[in-house]
Structures are given as structure tokens and as C-alpha cells.
Amino acid sequence: MGTTVNNLWKGGAPAESDGLIPVTAPAARARLARITHIYTDLDGTLLAPGGRLLTNHAGESSTALAEALVALKRAGVEVILVTGRNGVQGQEFLRMLNLNTFIGELGCLVLEGFGATARTTYELGDWADVVLAPGLAPGELPAEVTPYQLIEESGVVGRLLAAFPGRLEPHRPYPGRRMVTHAFRGFVDAERAQELLANERLPLRLSDNGQIHPQAHTLVDCPEIHIYHLVPRGASKARAVAADIARRGLAPEQTLAIGDAAADMEMGEHTGSLVVVANALRSDAVCAVLSARPACAAAPLCTEAPTADGWVEFAHALLAAR
């Protein structure tokens, strides 16, 4: 067993006794000083609740996050967005935040640049070895057909919804804007979902991207609501981050992942450092991933504050270390 994480942490600040190093601790300084590339989740991490940029965690108007992003840009630190959100949203985030790379749809879609010069690529995991349509080579997509459409045409979406009545629904209003993954919200038995997907022709998995708080839904008997993505098996945030690091030729100590969900913790398997925002430790899934980290891995860093406030706390610590 690697890092020991207190699964009962429900409030107050995480600490080194939890196997975590606060980003403001002297022990974090040398690691933060070497960071040139940050791979960050959006919702529940960079953004305040409700997906907001210009508020703090409590919903009060604040420019602190925007100022932190500008300061990092001026310091030559590149911020790369890694999220479940779709490419339409990604283009706007890149434009508004003055960033260059968006890894969306849980690692399946990569945008570089924006506007007329934008470059879009897919990361489809195990689909590279599958004949997706008659007469095509393995991994080749039919002309003018997106991976999202292939998944929809297979009928698997209807079968999943029928298997979890009242506990799973499409994550509206976003489905029509996606190019690869189908997004759902609800609360389901992950093992049962994977058993159902094992019988599908397309290799797929249902990935839990953390807890959300939708203002309107039709779900019943859900103790909490999570967002799920139906993704090509083998594709993930972690795999996309590993590919991006390799493409850039970065050394591990230059890279850092920060997030609040289990999928974000897995990004830290490929970056030299991992930062856990404080609200993440309310998730048993996150704690399980952290506890399973190998003993040889660097201890995760953590913030004292949640979501956007924690991200700003981390950014200030990194800038001070430089």
C-alpha cells in the first residue's frame, strides 16, 4: 500500500497525517518550482461550483482565479485543460482563458488552438484494434461519422438507460454537442454497468467523472448524483495526458496534474506531481485511488481550500516557489 489517505475526512483541512503534503508546506516548494505544465480538471477543480470563473467557492464575485491564470501565463507556465466537457465548450474556454490545448470528453478529444487554425484529433483507446464498419481498416472511422454517432447507432445508450431506470439519464442539454462520448448523470452500480458493456460489439466503459449538483433532473432514489461518460475502452484522461507529455518531450518533474475526481487522480500516474483539491477527499473513489498509489510514487500535494479557491491557493504556491 502506498499513500495512506483518511477516508473519513469530511471537513477541515487535509494534512500530512493523511499522506498528503499541503501545497503551502516547505516540502512542496522544490517540486512546485520545477513545474512548467499543469494538467487541470475544470468542474470541481479550476472552476467554482456551477462552472463559474469569476466567483470564489462560496459564489461571491471574485477575479482571483482569472488573475492567477494571467500570472501563470506571464511566468511561462502552460495550463492544459483536461475535462469531460465537449469541444464546443473547449473552443470557448481556450479563447476566453487565452490557453492553447483542451483535452475534452474524458481524454477522447484533443483541441489545439482555436478558431480557423484549430486542430482536432481523437484518442479512441482500444478502438484502434476494432473494425468499426465493414470494409474499413481497424480503427478507421466511416466518412463523415463521429465516434459519438457510432455509439448511438449501436443502441447501447438505450440498453444502459433501461438497465438503470430512474437512476441514470442523459446529461442534458449537452448530448448534441459531443463528438465521442455520451454523458449521463445519476448513480449506478459501476460493476453491473461494466458487465453490461462487456457484451457490446464496440469496446466501451462507463467512467465516473465525479459528483455534480444539477439544478433540474428526473432521477429518483439517488443518494448523490454523479456524471458518467460512456467512452471507448482504453481511452481516458490519464492516457491522453501521457500522450501529450510524450508529444511535448517533457520530463516528469515539469508536469503536474490537479483535480477532484478519480479520473483526475489517475492523471497523476503520468505526471511528476499530483495536487488534490480539498473537496476531492469527500469522495471514497478518490481516496481509493490515492491509497492504491505505489509506495515509490511522490506523495500527492493538497490544497486547504476547495474548488476554485484551492486552485488559486495552489497557483500562488507555485508562483511563490518559482
Model confidence pLDDT, tens digit, residues 110-129:
999 877 788 999 999 999 99
**105: helix, strand or coil:** helix
In 10 A of CB 106, how many CB atoms?
Answer: 30
Instruction: Give the separation between CA 105 and CA 41, rounded to whole angstroms.
Output: 11
| Closest C-alpha among 25, 30, 31, 26 to residue 13 | 25
**pLDDT-derived band of residue 8, with 50, 70 and 90 as boundaries?**
very low
Residue 9 has, within 13 A of its CA and on its CB side, a CA count of 25
Asked if 318 and 72 touch (Cβ cutoff 8 Å), the reply is: yes
Q: Is residue 244 part of a domain?
A: yes
Instruction: Give the separation between CA 59 and CA 276, rounded to whole angstroms.
Output: 21
Residue 276 pLDDT exceeds 50: yes
Using the structure block, give the residue that is written with the C-alpha cell 478507421.
Answer: 140
Residue 174 has, within 13 A of its CA and on its CB side, a CA count of 23
Domains of the chain: total: 2
Residue 29 pLDDT exceeds 70: yes
Asked if 290 and 296 touch (Cβ cutoff 8 Å), the reply is: no
Task: Check whether residue 152 and residue 210 sit in a common domain.
Answer: yes
* Percent over 90 (pLDDT), the chain: 80
| Closest C-alpha among 132, 138, 109 to residue 243 | 109
In 10 A of CB 127, how many CB atoms?
Answer: 25
Q: Is residue 81 part of a domain?
A: yes
Q: Of the candidates 201, 232, 263, which is a domain's last residue? A: 232
Instruction: Give the separation between CA 144 and CA 119, rounded to whole angstroms.
Output: 17
Query: Average pLDDT of the chain?
Result: 91
Task: Check whether residue 250 and residue 193 sit in a common domain.
Answer: no
Residue 2 pLDDT exceeds 50: no
Task: Check whether residue 301 and residue 257 sit in a common domain.
Answer: yes
| pLDDT value, residue 9 | 44
| pLDDT value, residue 176 | 59
pTM attached to this predicted model: 0.88
**pLDDT-derived band of residue 18, with 50, 70 and 90 as boundaries?**
low
| pLDDT value, residue 174 | 60
* Cell numbers for 269: 500516474
Task: Check whether residue 242 and residue 115 sit in a common domain.
Answer: yes
Q: Is residue 277 part of a domain?
A: yes
| pLDDT value, residue 17 | 46
When pLDDT is averaged across residues 139-160 and rounded to a whole number, the result is: 95
When pLDDT is averaged across residues 303-321 and rounded to a whole number, the result is: 98
| pLDDT value, residue 14 | 56
* Cell numbers for 301: 500535494
Task: Check whether residue 53 and residue 194 sit in a common domain.
Answer: no
Task: Check whether residue 39 and residue 90 sit in a common domain.
Answer: yes
* Residue 284 amino acid letter: D
Q: Is residue 48 part of a domain?
A: yes
Instruction: Give the separation between CA 316 and CA 319, rounded to whole angstroms.
Output: 5
Task: Report pLDDT digits (tens) over 229-253.
Answer: 999 999 999 999 999 999 999 999 9
Task: Check whether residue 175 and residue 298 sit in a common domain.
Answer: no
Residue 218 has, within 13 A of its CA and on its CB side, a CA count of 10
Task: Check whether residue 242 and residue 100 sit in a common domain.
Answer: yes
Task: Check whether residue 110 and residue 149 sit in a common domain.
Answer: no
DSSP H helical ranges for the chain? 26-33, 64-74, 87-97, 147-153, 156-163, 190-197, 237-248, 262-267, 284-291, 307-321
| pLDDT value, residue 49 | 93
| pLDDT value, residue 75 | 98
Task: Report pLDDT digits (tens) over 163-214.
Answer: 999 999 999 876 558 999 999 999 999 899 999 999 999 999 999 877 888 8
Quick one: how many helices (H) and strands (E) in the chain? Answer: 10, 13
Q: Of the candidates 216, 232, 248, which is a domain's last residue? A: 232
Instruction: Give the separation between CA 293 and CA 310, rounded to whole angstroms.
Output: 22
Task: Check whether residue 287 and residue 226 sit in a common domain.
Answer: no
Q: Of the candidates 232, 258, 280, which is a domain's last residue? A: 232
Q: Is residue 132 part of a domain?
A: no
CATH number at residue 279: 3.40.50.1000
Residue 36 pLDDT exceeds 70: yes
Task: Check whether residue 186 and residue 105 sit in a common domain.
Answer: no
Asked if 14 and 302 touch (Cβ cutoff 8 Å), the reply is: yes
Domain that holds residue 182: 145-232
**pLDDT-derived band of residue 215, with 50, 70 and 90 as boundaries?**
confident
